[in-house]
Amino acid sequence: MVRYVFNPWRDRDELLLVRRQFYGDEAQSGAATAGTPLSTGGSGGEGEKSTTMTTTTLTGDKTSDQPSRTPAARRRDEQQKAVARVSMWMARQHCPHMVESTALLTAAMLSDEEVAGVEGTSGWSTYAVRATYAAAFSRFVTGLLDGHQDKQRKQSMYAIAKKIGLPATFVELRHQSTHEQLPSLAKLRSMARKALAWIWDYFWKNLSAEDGASGTTGARRADSCRDAVLLYLRGGGGGSDSDEEARTARVVRELGKWDTERVLAAIAELQRTLPGNQVYLRCMKLSGEVKRAQDEKAAADQKAGDPEPDATAEGDDSSAETTLGWSLYEGLWKPKPIGVV
């Protein structure tokens, strides 16, 4: 059955534009660190609070003051546009969770910068910023881990985080933000920057590889052997045959055109990465069937390669076979009672 995947963005260029607006020039160079996605709101000096600088231009006897945007201000404008665009994508639905999490964390940091740039801020505004950070971070961690949860075998958040490489401190901060007192503003700022850097490594920097241009993801998608195994695990082997054994045999015959080591490596990779007990058992069964088919093929090749027996040997065997069975007794017959040798 064909399954269509809808994307909220118009094309790939629009998605890359949003990535560039979120992460700046680091998105083009392919390197982002924990401090580069956003400037630290409210932690700098007076120079960071100023969004414009005045440029004096001499024109004859007149002087004109033209406001010019600083690089930090232009950076915030680009990030605000990216957040607004992702908000539109969320209204269209089918927006990836990592894209939404990037927008939420970025919006929280922009709100923090805006509040920190206003003189005479009250305590309630700082508390609101802390709540914004906590809500964005909790949604990021919870949505990510729930997407990797196995419905048949529930796992703890720490176990899933360890499996996908999410730092345990993220899970701890999510628990504290949800069930305990809100963390401090300094801690939330630091963890938000680290979260954006982790999302970059986990999602954003792999966009070019996903289109098959380069990278391990493109090579993995181009692996037809892995795709055939994945099709079997999804239950879409094709045809109207519902018998599991017949479908397994058909898939094993199809996998026979690749090297056995390559097939077993693809099965082992999917068995290790895909969640669920059923997938694990099906991978184990398919691996055993592939090994059994390989052994049968090797035995058939060995039998076909054995030398033919000689004609003389066949003649001896035939003569030996003729001597077996009933024959005429030679000599004088002496009758004996039954049971006497």
pLDDT score recorded for residue 270: 81
The tens digit of pLDDT for each residue in 266-275 reads 888 888 777 6
Computed over every residue of the chain, the mean pLDDT equals: 76
The tens digit of pLDDT for each residue in 179-224 reads 989 999 999 999 999 999 999 999 998 886 444 444 444 444 447 7
pLDDT score recorded for residue 54: 43
- Residue of higher predicted confidence among 6 and 44: 6
On the question of pLDDT at 310 being above 70, the answer is: no
- Are 101 and 136 in contact by the 8 Å Cβ rule? The answer is yes
pLDDT score recorded for residue 29: 54
On the question of pLDDT at 313 being above 60, the answer is: no
pLDDT score recorded for residue 47: 40
d(CA 269, CA 257): 19
**DSSP character for 57?**
E
Closest CA to 173 of 143, 129, 142: 142
On the question of pLDDT at 176 being above 50, the answer is: yes
Neighbours of 112 (CB within 10 A): 24
Cα of 193 vs its chain's centroid, Å = 22
The tens digit of pLDDT for each residue in 55-111 reads 444 344 444 454 567 888 889 999 999 999 999 999 998 899 999 999 999 999 999
On the question of pLDDT at 150 being above 60, the answer is: yes
On the question of pLDDT at 33 being above 60, the answer is: no
d(CA 302, CA 285): 26
